[in-house]
Amino acid sequence: MTSALLSKLRHGLFLAGLVGFVFTQGEDVFAAPSGFDAISKEVQAVFAKASPAVVKVRAFSGTTPLAGTGFFIDADGTILTAYAIVRDANRAWIERDGEKIEAQILGRDARSGIALLKVDIGKTPFLSFGDPSELKVASAIVSVAYPFNLEAAPAFGLVTGFNAVYSSPTLNQFFATTHIRASLDVQPGQIGGPVMNGKGEVMGILMVATQDQRECFILPSTAASKIVRDIEQFGEARHGWVGVGVTTDQGTVAAVSPVAVSTLYENTPAAESGILPGDRVISVGRRPIRQPSDVLDIAFFSKVGETLPVEIERGGQTRVFEIKVIERPAEVRMVDFRKLPGGEPAEGVPVRSTR
């Protein structure tokens, strides 16, 4: 350090994040890093609470070894993990306390990106789901997982957004529902791990890292719970669809819904409902529509077979139509969690969208 710079630092207050480093005349004295200490204690507490319920997950897709993280969601040995780790495997197992335990594959869903396993080992520690709607941009989150096939480790980050689209320089694909975006540096092996708030409640599950691996997308726990319920009840996920494509109308005045119908898919209840392209969508299922992803989310959480009232605005008048929720066709373009980027299938991360 040059004498000039040292002199400036000694006569000033240098702030770095949450910690004030005070340089006094004559010698460098660091003030107690209380901010960092507080964060460290919070992360340590979440890690201590979560790590007994977090396990390594292994499987083979053909001859390809797959690996990642999962966690117990009840006391009966049910494990939530990522589809990218299990894929089309016939068998899976977990590693816990140095022991390999075969796991039954209860179900898997490529569209949402999760898989459900179960082991018969008696009562298990488990993590409870929290309410991800409480998260805001800049909310602190902690993940616990097994990076690089090493021991369990925590990762600390901040929520950076909420997105329904996975974007890259060449691809823009829809998720099944809005995901949490966070500044977690996801390494191989961490996909499938739980993401928690400061109370140790699961806010979501790590799904996909961005191509530079500096951020990640997280499936909210509410969405994961819906798929878990489907698998437990039907043996598979049942994704709802209303058959309507929507877009943002940039010319909309503030008093009118900014979301307009752009497409009515053929041979769907929506096409026969009376709704027309250009109609502005005010609410679906009595839930207000403020952006196109709201329609995607409502369809995701709807039950196949139920009927939703859809309120629209047309020509200055509001009307209500009813649309029956049908099962989403497989060919509808979505993020494909079955594809892994080149050369890293054994690590189960990060997935890449296709088409």
Question: Which pLDDT score is estimated for 288?
Answer: 93
Question: Which pLDDT score is estimated for 65?
Answer: 86
- 265: CB partners within 8 A, 6+ apart: 243, 244, 245, 271
| pLDDT confidence band for 34 (50 / 70 / 90) | low
Beta-bridge mates of residue 28: 23
* pLDDT above 90: residue 76: yes
Using alpha carbons only, what angle is made at residue 131 by residues 43 and 213, rounded to the nearest 5 degrees? 55
Question: Which pLDDT score is estimated for 11?
Answer: 41
Q: Is 12 exposed, middle or buried (0-12, 13-18, 19+ CB in 10 A)?
A: exposed
Question: Which pLDDT score is estimated for 165?
Answer: 86
Q: Do domains 35-232+331-355 and 240-327 have the same CATH topology?
A: no
| CATH number given to 35-232+331-355 | 2.40.10.120
In CATH terms, the fold of domain 240-327 is: Pdz3 Domain (2.30.42)
- Domain limits of the chain? 1-31, 35-232+331-355, 240-327
Question: Which pLDDT score is estimated for 121?
Answer: 95
